Amino acid sequence: MIALLTALFLFADLPYWVSKPPAEWSDAQILALLSDSPWAQPVEGPTPQAPPVQVYLATAGPIQLAEAERDRRIAVRRKPGTSIPENTEYKLWMEDNRATQIVLAVRIQNNKGFLDEEEVQRMEKETTLRAGKKKFKMTGSFPPSESDPYLRLAFPRQVELSDKSLIFELYLPGVPAPYRNAEFKLKDMVSNGKLEL
């Protein structure tokens, strides 16, 4: 009996993304995981007139589960006969590269900036990841689309817990005040004893 109570006590202290399967997460919990969690945050602009930009680490295990469950629920709620084309290029790339890449997803409200080749080249040149004293250029990107409103930015997965934080220095085409910085504390991203990136 004491062992059962101890197990229940320990289980109660675990966050929902560890203690429950995704099918049991509420819509609000999924939204919270994708918007304000150790792996997600709104990135403020330099002035109040520049709206915040939502970002999350799409390669982190809890985020992948949340995205998959969100997409499953959207498909179930969709009217019969309607469909949205899947972002198969990104999904196939992710299957092959998840172990060696970190992907930052950035919610883009206006895709028009991606029609300007100079803006895209500027993003590719100026967007970087800092992990400790190391600095990395992007290894690839997937622009937002009809089926996925998130810009997906890939970086090498050469990060250790001793780096303490990840800082993404972003240039975002089509976003007011396109220069943004997103910082994630690595100690906060440990789940079940594993650093989730």
Say which DSSP state 77 is in: H
**Owning domain of residue 48:** 16-189
Asked if the structure places residue 176 within a domain, the reply is yes
Nearest CA-CA partner of 130 in 156, 93, 111, 97? 156
Asked if the structure places residue 53 within a domain, the reply is yes
Asked if the structure places residue 155 within a domain, the reply is yes
Q: What share of the chain is helix, strand, coil (3-state, %, to 5)?
A: 40, 25, 35
Phi, psi of 167 (to 5 degrees): -120, 115
Structure pTM? 0.89
pLDDT in tens, 149-167: 999 999 999 999 899 999 9
Residue 105: strand pairing partners: 56, 152
Nearest CA-CA partner of 87 in 115, 113, 61, 67? 67
Asked if the structure places residue 23 within a domain, the reply is yes
Phi, psi of 6 (to 5 degrees): -65, -45
Nearest CA-CA partner of 136 in 100, 93, 91, 98? 100
Asked if the structure places residue 170 within a domain, the reply is yes
Asked if the structure places residue 194 within a domain, the reply is no
pLDDT in tens, 118-147: 999 999 999 999 999 999 999 999 999 887
Q: Is residue 125 within 8 Å of 178, Cβ to Cβ?
A: no
Q: Is residue 162 within 8 Å of 134, Cβ to Cβ?
A: no
Asked if the structure places residue 70 within a domain, the reply is yes
Our count of domains for the chain comes to 1
What residues contact residue 54 under an 8 Å CB cut-off, 6+ apart?
A: 34, 35, 40, 41, 42, 43, 106, 107
The more confidently predicted of residues 1 and 173 is 173
Give the mean pLDDT of the chain.
Answer: 89
Asked if the structure places residue 69 within a domain, the reply is yes
Nearest CA-CA partner of 104 in 171, 162, 153? 153
